[in-house]
Structure 1
Amino acid sequence: MNKGITYALLAAVLFGISTPFAKVLAGEYEPVLLAGLLYAGSGIGLSAWLVLRKAIAKPGNSVSRLGIPDFPWLAGAILSGGVLAPVLMMSGLSHASASSSSLLLNMEGVLTALLAWFVFREQFDRRIFLGMMLIIAGGVLLSWQSDPMLGQVHESWGALAVVAACLCWAIDNNLTRKVSTGDAVQIAALKGLVSGAVNLSFALLWLGAPVPAWKSVASAGILGFGGYGLSLVLFVLALRHLGTARTGAYFSAAPFVGAAVSLLVLGEQPDRIFWFAAALMGCGIWLHITESHDHLHRHDHMEHAHTHTHDAHHQHAHDFAWDGKEPHSHSHVHQPMEHAHPHFPDIHHRHTH
């Protein structure tokens, strides 16, 4: 299995597990405050990881650091995915059931793909498109499972807030792909620190939210470190290997994990529409994970830096004394090449068809 798929699925599991537990915390805190605690936990935990990694790193080990051209893309990603999306998500969770909210998170993959295809010009075919249409159909069913005419608008507004959060995360995903050759831990740590600081400041200073007890802060921080921090690190690695749309599709497994935890832990009782929507979404994800894309393609001249091994796409010389250790990171040149093999639209396969 392509390691990018493994990264994406692990990211989905971590984020999916966090959703029902965030639902429990959403009843105790102001949504903005909870979003700040989750992202602060992510940022602080990953920052500690960076310090520890540097302290125990062996000579010769290296990762690609972010450069100045990367920061405008990262700033846009942080604003949309780290500031706006969590607030919308926490607001939605406070109005909708955890199981429905978990499945609605599939809309993130759909919206991510639509932006990747039509704004950032990433390759797709009819099979991938059909899969996304099935996921959309399931999301629409969940959004309207509460009938506004019967006075149950509360649930529908919660669903709309979750979908709006997914749109913000979709923008975030596409912007993050622009910097995915950099250090994934550094990217996720910066997102967590900035997003956590902004949301906490807004909640405490502007909204006047009460300062939570340290025990509650610790619980939210641990949840944020796993469900947001580690999940985001894996997601960035998946972007590097799979491209944006396909990473979003694999990440669509997250809602099923979250829904299962909601049913087992929170004791929620979904109706028949829930299961029908889940079946539609499952078929859509299956179409994605069974895709095979193989054709003759050309690699043009390219120069960039990222962590790599000397595989078929990295047969270059070094202008420095190399000790032979891999993986390593440095600026390197890709010479023009033409060949055929199964591939995804990763950082080395951005060709037209």
Structure 2
Amino acid sequence: MNKKISVSIIWAILAAALYAISSPVSKILLLRAAPMMMAAFLYLGAGIGMFLLGIIRKNLGKGISEHHLTRKDLPFTVGMIVLDIAAPILLMVGLNKTTAANASLLNNFEIVATSVIALLVFREAIKKRLWLAIGLITLSSLILSFEDVSSLHFSFGSLLVLLACVCWGFENNCTRMMSNSDPLEIVVIKGIGSGLGSLLIACAAGEPFPTLRYVPLILLLGFVSYGLSIFFYVYAQRNLGAAKTSAYYAVAPFIGVALSWGIFRETPSFSFLAALAIMIIGVYFTTTDAKGSCLQR
């Protein structure tokens, strides 16, 4: 494994660790903010925070060699913003209707969505081992989507989380197409554009403005869990491709589950533990497959 690949793997895992705190902390802040407003300020926090970081970077003379986005990137930029408006709104609404641990684990379905879209739309090669991982993660997600497996009572909150993952799967591939451009510039555009779009939708829906004293906390969470996480994620995609980056990113839900258990003292059900075991096996096959050569578009 060459040095570039090794560094990219570190970027992907760091991105996952930063994103992992999003679900449990958002669950708490949703007590003080409506779902769509929450999604808006999370992305605004990412955009504003990374813009300020960009000013610091420029003053230090860093990032000069980075390429700016061009006109050919416009379709992917628009797609990225639209999908990033939809995904966090779906996730925040879903979080209101399911447990934080459940939502954290379901986030691994993003691997499935990203990989399948990378294959069908962007022609990335996917090995048999990764297909096995996709099947196991999908099975685990189906188990988590039913609150009571014996009576097959479907969880609407879980469905919304899965839909968010599909949106992020498309978005990951859009971002992959721009990953040779400046990651900081991508995150600023993504954050400001998606944040303002979500804010307009929230206002149109009549959602109340968050309690002012909680706005800085939401913005800070957005900067850390979305801004910095996406920044490192884009760097990882340069050498790993969309599918493999999402594979290493798969550690995020497990960190989120651990945090959720610690914060909310949630007692896991038998179906959750079964899904967790299947998910761990699936992620194992994903990450061991990812040790091979990079995916090619």
SS of the residue corresponding to residue 221 of structure 2 reads: helix
In the TM superposition, what are the counterparts of 1:30-179 in structure 2 within 5 Å? 30-57=34-61, 61-80=64-83, 82-146=84-148, 156-179=155-178
Aligned residue number for residue 203 of structure 1: 202
Residues 179 and 234, structure 2, Cα contact 8 Å, conserved in 1: yes
Larger radius of gyration: 1
Please report the TM-score for the alignment, with normalisation by the length of structure 1.
0.79
Residues 37 and 209, structure 2, Cα contact 8 Å, conserved in 1: no
Q: Distance in 2 between the 1:271 and 1:149 partners?
A: 15
Aligned residue number for residue 248 of structure 2: 250
Residues 149 and 271, structure 2, Cα contact 8 Å, conserved in 1: no
**CA RMSD across the alignment:** 1.8
Q: Distance in 2 between the 1:11 and 1:194 partners?
A: 21
Aligned residue number for residue 266 of structure 1: 264
Aligned residue number for residue 300 of structure 1: none
In the TM superposition, what are the counterparts of 1:285-324 in structure 2 within 5 Å? 285-291=283-289
Structure 1 unaligned residues grouped into runs of 5+: 294-341
Q: Distance in 1 between the 2:147 and 2:280 partners?
A: 18
Query: Could you list the per-position Cα deviations for residues 100-157 of structure 1 after superposition, in whole angstroms to 9, with x for gaps in the alignment?
Result: 010000111111101111221111111111111111111111011336958x65xx00
Comparing 141-150 with 87-96, greater Cα deviation is found at 141-150
Q: Kindly provide the amino acid, as one letter, of the partner of residue 71 in structure 1.
A: L
Q: Distance in 2 between the 1:61 and 1:237 partners?
A: 16
Measure how far apart 1:72 and its partner are. Answer: 1.4
Q: Distance in 2 between the 1:109 and 1:123 partners?
A: 14
Q: Does 1:13 align with 2:17?
A: yes
Aligned residue number for residue 241 of structure 1: 239
Q: Distance in 2 between the 1:78 and 1:180 partners?
A: 15
Please report the TM-score for the alignment, with normalisation by the length of structure 2.
0.94
Residues 27 and 94, structure 1, Cα contact 8 Å, conserved in 2: no
Between Structure 1 and Structure 2, the one with more helix by share is: 2
Moved segments of 4+, more than 6 Å: none
Q: Kindly provide the amino acid, as one letter, of the partner of residue 114 in structure 1.
A: V
Aligned residue number for residue 344 of structure 1: 294
Measure how far apart 1:51 and its partner are. Answer: 1.1
Q: Distance in 1 between the 2:82 and 2:174 partners?
A: 11
Q: Distance in 2 between the 1:209 and 1:137 partners?
A: 35
Higher RCO (C-alpha under 8 Å, 6+ residues apart): 2
Query: Could you list the per-position Cα deviations for residues 132-185 of structure 1 after superposition, in whole angstroms to 9, with x for gaps in the alignment?
Result: 1111111111011336958x65xx000000000001000100111110000011
Query: Could you list the per-position Cα deviations for residues 179-201 of structure 1 after superposition, in whole angstroms to 9, with x for gaps in the alignment?
Result: 00000111011100011111112
Query: Could you list the per-position Cα deviations for residues 268-306 of structure 1 after superposition, in whole angstroms to 9, with x for gaps in the alignment?
Result: 11112111111111111111222377xxxxxxxxxxxxx
Q: Does 1:225 align with 2:175?
A: no
Q: Kindly provide the amino acid, as one letter, of the partner of residue 169 in structure 1.
A: W
SS of the residue corresponding to residue 199 of structure 2 reads: helix
Measure how far apart 1:61 and its partner are. Answer: 4.1
Aligned residue number for residue 33 of structure 2: 29
Between Structure 1 and Structure 2, the one with more strand by share is: 1
Q: Distance in 1 between the 2:290 and 2:97 partners?
A: 40
Q: Distance in 1 between the 2:41 and 2:150 partners?
A: 33
Residues 23 and 94, structure 1, Cα contact 8 Å, conserved in 2: yes
Q: Kindly provide the amino acid, as one letter, of the partner of residue 69 in structure 1.
A: K
Q: Kindly provide the amino acid, as one letter, of the partner of residue 65 in structure 2.
A: S
